[in-house]
C-alpha cells in the first residue's frame, strides 16, 4: 500500500497538477490532504475540483486549513497578515457556491488505524505553527496513532520519540526517509505543494509505504511563471 500525503496547495494549480499527474501513473492507494487548498494562488476553484475528483476516484481524505475556513467566513481574517487577508477576500469572491459548501464541510481532524491528519498541530488543529522541539514534544500526547501528518508552516520536518524516551528530529529531507516502529510516535510536516518556505521552490509532498513502514519526501519541479 502506498499513500500520498500533501498539504498547503494554496490555489497553485500548476504545482498540484504536476504531482497528481505523476502519481496517476504510479500505483497509489490513497491520497490525504492536510488542508489549505486555497489562499494566495490564482486557481482556487480548479484546485478544489481536482481534489474533489480524487475523493471520488480514490476516496481521498481531505481536512480543513486556516485559509480554507477564512475564505468561507468560518474564521476571522484579522488573524492573517495583510497579504494573506487580501488573498482570502479575493478567494472568497472567486469561489463557486458549490466549492464554498465543500470547504465548509471539511473536518478539522482525521484519524484511522494508521494515521492522524491535522493542518496545524494535534493540540490546535487549525492555528498552531509547530516549529520547534518543545512544541513537538508537547503535542505528542494529543494524538493516539503512531504517526500524525501536519502542514501549515510549509516547512518539511519530522519528530520521533520512542518508549525509551530517545528523540529524533530535524528537517524532513528527500535523502532521509523516516522509518516507523511500533515503539515510537512520529510527527511529520509534509511541506507545501503550492508555496514551499524551506528555501526549495519545488512542490513538496510525502509518500508513505505502509509495508516498509517508511515515509519519503518527494519534490517536483513545475512551471512557476503562470502562477506568478
Ligand atoms: Zn498554508
Residues 61-111 pLDDT 10s:
999 999 999 999 999 999 899 999 999 999 999 999 999 999 999 999 999
Neighbours of ion ligand 1 (CB under 5 A): 8, 36
Q: Which of 120, 92, 124, 116 is nearest to 7 (CA)?
A: 120
Q: Give residue 162 CA to ligand 1 midpoint distance, Å.
A: 29
Identify whether 129 is part of a domain.
yes
Q: Give residue 164 CA to ligand 1 midpoint distance, Å.
A: 34
Identify whether 18 is part of a domain.
yes
Residue 181 has pLDDT above 90, yes or no: no
Length of the chain in residues, anyone? Answer: 228
- Cell 500525503 locates to 5
Q: Give residue 166 CA to ligand 1 midpoint distance, Å.
A: 30
- Cell 470547504 locates to 103
Q: Give residue 85 CA to ligand 1 midpoint distance, Å.
A: 13
Give the chain's domain count: 1
Q: Give residue 8 CA to ligand 1 midpoint distance, Å.
A: 5
Q: Which of 27, 7, 41, 2 is nearest to 129 (CA)?
A: 7
> What is the torsional sign of CA 202, 135, 161, 144?
negative
Count of alpha carbons within 13 angstroms of residue 44, beta-carbon side: 25
Identify whether 180 is part of a domain.
yes
Query: All 3 cell numbers of residue 37?
Result: 487548498
**pLDDT digits over 3-51, tens only?**
999 999 999 999 999 999 999 999 899 999 999 999 999 999 999 999 9
CATH number of the CATH domain containing 172: 3.60.21.10
Identify whether 225 is part of a domain.
no
Rounded Cα distance, 132 and 31, in Å: 27
Identify whether 32 is part of a domain.
yes
Identify whether 143 is part of a domain.
yes
Q: Give residue 10 CA to ligand 1 midpoint distance, Å.
A: 7
Chain centre to alpha carbon of residue 92: 21
Q: Which one-letter DSSP state was computed for residue 177? A: P
Q: Give residue 165 CA to ligand 1 midpoint distance, Å.
A: 31
Identify whether 28 is part of a domain.
yes
Q: Give residue 91 CA to ligand 1 midpoint distance, Å.
A: 14
Q: Give residue 153 CA to ligand 1 midpoint distance, Å.
A: 7
Rounded Cα distance, 160 and 146, in Å: 10
Please tell me whether the overall predicted TM-score, pTM, comes out greater than 0.95 for this model. Answer: yes
**Domain extent at residue 58:** 2-220
Residue 121 has pLDDT above 90, yes or no: yes
Identify whether 226 is part of a domain.
no
Average pLDDT, the chain: 96
Contact 218, 202 (CB under 8 A): no
Amino acid at each position: 500500500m502506498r499513500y500520498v500525503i500533501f498539504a498547503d496547495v494554496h490555489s497553485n494549480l500548476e504545482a498540484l497538477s504536476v504531482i497528481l499527474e505523476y502519481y496517476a501513473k504510479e500505483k497509489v492507494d490513497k491520497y490525504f490532504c492536510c488542508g489549505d487548498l486555497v489562499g494566495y494562488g490564482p486557481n482556487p476553484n480548479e484546485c478544489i475540483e481536482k481534489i474533489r475528483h480524487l475523493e471520488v476516484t480514490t476516496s481521498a481524505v481531505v481536512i480543513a486549513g486556516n485559509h480554507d475556513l477564512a475564505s468561507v467566513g468560518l474564521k476571522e481574517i484579522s488573524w492573517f497578515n495583510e497579504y494573506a487577508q487580501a488573498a482570502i477576500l479575493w478567494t472568497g469572491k472567486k469561489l463557486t457556491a458549490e466549492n464554498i459548501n465543500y470547504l465548509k464541510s471539511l473536518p478539522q481532524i482525521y484519524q484511522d488505524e494508521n494515521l492522524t491528519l491535522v493542518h496545524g498541530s494535534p493540540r490546535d488543529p487549525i492555528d498552531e505553527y509547530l516549529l520547534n522541539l518543545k512544541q513537538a514534544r508537547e503535542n505528542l500526547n494529543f494524538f493516539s496513532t503512531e504517526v500524525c501528518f501536519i502542514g501549515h508552516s510549509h516547512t518539511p520536518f519530522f519528530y520521533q520519540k520512542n518508549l525509551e524516551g530517545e528523540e529524533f528530529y530535524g528537517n524532513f529531507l528527500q535523502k532521509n526517509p523516516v522509518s516507523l516502529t511500533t515503539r515510537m510516535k512520529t510527527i511529520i510536516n509534509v511541506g507545501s505543494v503550492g508555496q514551499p518556505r524551506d528555501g526549495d521552490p519545488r512542490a513538496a509532498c510525502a509518500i508513505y509505504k505502509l509495508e516498509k513502514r517508511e515515509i519519503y519526501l518527494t519534490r517536483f519541479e513545475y512551471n512557476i511563471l503562470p502562477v506568478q
